Structure 1
């Protein structure tokens, strides 16, 4: 039986390329001294400005604001790590997110199945709450954590285990859903089943070794959960 679902945010609830490509371009233009400098910064974080796409190892995909700032800092003389982190977090809160699916309908369908819902993101908690609020789904979540919420960052299992403690759901009866290996490793380390989705940058070949199943997006999740119950 499955009693709870923990979601990643970026690339899972929200389409990664559509949501973060434009945001990254705006950020680069804000912090760069000229276009050539913006190109240099883009290369450092694995972002293709022409295609508005990300390399699979880009820290923007699954790392924290601290990780991204650490990569950019050597190319930004005069900036402090704390100041750069603060800028990234402020900009992230205002980022326009593109839902990967009709979020309210999909999440309500899972709630109607009696499932507890959680969010575990390597974004900070404040922007995560802002993004959920902007799309009218904050009230559907029983647990929300970012890397700054006191449970650590993925691929560590801390946020997943905190979801289990707060909701009373046995990790063995929970699912971690994400678009990156970081998400799936975190879920597995917490003792959860893992579902990969293809609304991020990673493809099936990358996610499959870490997942019980890889789905096109979270709209397919309810049907998959029903199939697992039927098989028992």
Structure 2
């Protein structure tokens, strides 16, 4: 698939790249679909709920074991997922569900979108500052990146609970730029969802959409400088190629 460009690159260089995690560094469906199916069945049994109703509440097709495009889990925070589950389970303790999901999700084996080690090594060799901003928890982000053997490649790792807010707000993205002492306009935000790209635009950053999440190119294109099949195409784009 050829990348779809929305705007010219211009001459402004990129000095930092800030990645979303799920659906960007890691393939969303391959990483989360089976775990989500098993988790919601377990919770439905525990609370005496109807599995299909639980699945509907979180935007999940249980027979097909896949997320619906409207699922709040795709780009939402762990808190948002816990709140959606709490309604379906008739569970009052949202905080307990949030803790449970956060701890359990950190152990989920992630499926990289590309071979991350050489990819990140190549970007760092160009002098680029690298970061992760995810609407997952900071704890889970550290766990997933460590399990993939690439945590050390990132200069700054931010979760929705790191104290800077969550996407689509721009504040956590601006926190990365401030930490790295890079002007926001010289940072590229890379993500698979509108939350990622809207946050990037609001922060005044370049925006790169990738198709390893649930969104389609046509959905991402209005908010992206470029839409690429996956992050492996970023070095060529940064170098001025298609």
TM-score interval for Structure 1 and Structure 2 normalised by the shorter chain: over 0.9
1:114 & 1:79 partners in 2: Cα distance?
49
Q: Is 1:81 aligned to 2:94, yes or no?
A: yes
Equivalent residue of 2:45, what SS?
A: coil
Match of 1:16 among 12, 28, 36: 28
Question: CA contact under 8 A between 1:60 and 1:68: conserved in structure 2?
Answer: yes
Tell me the residue number matched to 2:115: 102
Tell me the residue number matched to 1:46: 59
1:82 & 1:217 partners in 2: Cα distance?
35
Tell me the residue number matched to 1:188: 201
Match of 1:61 among 70, 74, 79: 74
Q: Is 1:166 aligned to 2:179, yes or no?
A: yes
Match of 2:45 among 25, 33, 38: 33
Task: State the shift of 1:75 in Å.
Answer: 2.1
Question: CA contact under 8 A between 1:17 and 1:52: conserved in structure 2?
Answer: no
Task: State the shift of 1:79 in Å.
Answer: 4.3
Equivalent residue of 1:62, what SS?
A: coil
Q: Is 1:197 aligned to 2:210, yes or no?
A: yes
Tell me the residue number matched to 1:113: 126
Tell me the residue number matched to 1:123: 136
Match of 1:135 among 148, 154, 173: 148
Q: Structure 1 residue runs of 4+, over 3 Å off?
A: none
TM-score after normalising by structure 1? 0.95
Task: State the shift of 1:36 in Å.
Answer: 7.1
2:27 & 2:59 partners in 1: Cα distance?
18
TM-score after normalising by structure 2? 0.91
Equivalent residue of 1:147, what SS?
A: coil
Task: State the shift of 1:152 in Å.
Answer: 0.2
RMSD: 1.3
Match of 1:151 among 160, 164, 168: 164
Equivalent residue of 2:111, what SS?
A: coil
Equivalent residue of 2:50, what SS?
A: helix
Tell me the residue number matched to 2:18: 6
Q: Which runs of 5+ in 1 are unaligned?
A: none
Higher helix share goes to which structure? 1
Equivalent residue pairs, number: 228
1:204 & 1:187 partners in 2: Cα distance?
17
